[in-house]
Chain A
Amino acid sequence: DVQMTQSPSSLSASVGDRVTISCRSSQNIEKYLHWYQQKPGKAPKLLIYSASRLESGVPSRFSGSGSGTDFTLTISGLQPEDFATYYCQQSYKNPFTFGPGTKVDIK
């Protein structure tokens, strides 16, 4: 299986901060990497697909980059509604696998 790791596992930030979350895969997954946001008690919400493509309706402060084994999710100007847990997911190889998550909370 393709193992996904994320760093940091958690971070504290303030409204307006620029936040960067890293996702790394155990093998080359090209650009088959997707990002989700999950709030407590809610389903995940798609933010970015194919490493850098912004899902329709998602604010432009969210951006993704990377290819191969190293990927980044950036939130430019953190908003109160962005405090949540973020997951990456690869679909290069069956089984699809998710990262362990990065929790973003209020400093």
Chain B
Amino acid sequence: AQSVAQPEDQVNVAEGNPLTVKCTYSVSGNPYLFWYVQYPNRGLQFLLKYITGDNLVKGSYGFEAEFNKSQTSFHLKKPSALVSDSALYFCAVRETGGSYIPTFGRGTSLIVHP
């Protein structure tokens, strides 16, 4: 069985400061991991994914995430937050070789203060 956890319902950060949105996962084998962002009253937008290869993945809008197999984590990061980054962020996992059903986390609300 696969699962994903986003331990923080909300993350607050000041504009210009670095931000981290946490995600941990559990799969039996190897994971495919991805992050999506949802702006108010909009559908989800793909940010980045880890399939294989480099543990540091770079994505859209200056975001990046680091795959850490030993800690089973895939935290989303950005060096300098913008007010426009305020949104709901979802981490998701799918086990390689498993079903085509991804498991999404409950979401983390990121609030960037001016």
| A and B from one complex | no
